Structure 1
């Protein structure tokens, strides 16, 4: 038999399979990837730099859905808001990947390039260098927490007669549908308002 025209393994297939596993179960293993692709575990390692390398491929794949044009918008706060919304949508599509990606160091070149652009946006807007990373990290905390919230049940508080919570019941009834979106919009507006005060203080 001749060799198949399409290689059994390549980085794209490995990444796609790893992401499928993460979407299903929140994690992956190299043997699981190999089994799904009908290959030997050792063969997978010929294409990637171990498990850490696959994690970075996953990071690049998920982050590739973030619209890069958002950081070109003006003024800076409009750009940051657009980036945050695109960032949230990208990770909301793969919520089970969030714990995996957010607990490992960022090495993926294309992701680092995006951080470089975000930092440049804020420095060009006259933010103090000491404020830049705390602001970006705070934004990420909001974005990723909200992306997880989008995957949660609409009803997150189960009220029982054994624990009287009439005020909580009233507040839950008042919030209505779209709790996750309303909460994200509130948090993003508050963060941007605070960011504006930081910039004013430095001016």
Structure 2
């Protein structure tokens, strides 16, 4: 190879899946959605160049899914055999919520598209296998995971909600709701309120799952 050819070759790849994922996530965080041409503009490349790395919008969504899920703490999934399933699910739920809460605008995109990302499929495989080992039948395990995920998604969005979610107008009579609102400290931060609601709901879900566990 001549010296000129060596100098002409870029030393760092101009485009890869990681850069595409980062650009897409930044766009979603700012605008709430993305388009493939917008990603190309952000990366200063031709739109056609992206298709060498991802399969259009669907491919970018799976990159985003892996990007968010990769931020989760997977230690509990790698130590499933050493911990009670309730504890593993609780840790999984908290980590899942934290990862989504960091990018709340991405939730509607990921929640309304089919999951295909290998990293995510692997995580679900571990959780489903753990539930089967605990004694839950196959017909119930996916429903349990879906119910937990639905709760997590709602809880993640709650972290991005306004500090005050209920304002009772003068025309409405809601004395019991008013009492409940008064019971919450006025200086309580939004995250504190959201965390209390999340932990209460998570405890109820796990208690219900435990109660439904068939005797072995």
Structure 2 length-normalised TM:
0.89
Of 189, 204, 215, which residue of structure 2 is paired with 1:190? 204
Match of 1:154 in 2: 163
Which residue matches 1:75? Answer: 84
Q: What stretches of structure 1 of length at least 5 have no aligned partner?
A: none
Map residues 112-131 of structure 1 onto 2, 5 A cutoff. Answer: 112-131=121-140
Deviations 1:27-77 (A, max 9, x none): 100110010111111111111111101100100000001111122251111
Q: Match of 1:40?
A: 46
Who is 1:9 aligned against? 15
- 8 Å contact from structure 1 (residues 15, 58) kept in 2: yes
How far the C-alpha of 1:2 sits from its partner, in A, is: 2.3
CA-based RMSD of the aligned residues comes to 1.4
Residue 88 of structure 1 is aligned with which of 83, 97, 113? 97
| Residue 108 (structure 2) pairs with residue 99 (structure 1) | yes
Query: Whose radius of gyration is greater, 1 or 2?
Result: 2
Find the counterpart in structure 1 of residue 3 from structure 2: none
- Alpha-carbon shift at residue 141 of structure 1 (Å): 0.8
- What per-residue deviation string (whole Å, max 9, x for no partner) do you get for residues 146-175 of structure 1? 000001111111232233433322211213
Q: Which runs of 4+ in 1 moved over 3 A?
A: none
- In the superposition, the TM-score normalised over structure 1's length comes to 0.94
Deviations 1:70-112 (A, max 9, x none): 2225111111111111111111111111100010000000100
Secondary structure (helix, strand or coil) at the match of 1:81 reads helix
| In structure 2, distance between residues paired with 1:77 and 1:185 | 13
Q: How many residues align?
A: 202
8 Å Cα contact 1:65-1:90 kept in structure 2: yes
Distance 2:204 2:210 in 1: 10
CA distance in 2: counterparts of 1:129 and 1:44, whole angstroms? 40
Distance 2:84 2:175 in 1: 44
CA distance in 2, matches of 1:125, 1:163: 48
Partner of 1:26: 32
SS of corresponding position for 1:28: coil
Residue 183 (structure 1) shift: 0.9
- 1:52 — aligned with what? 58
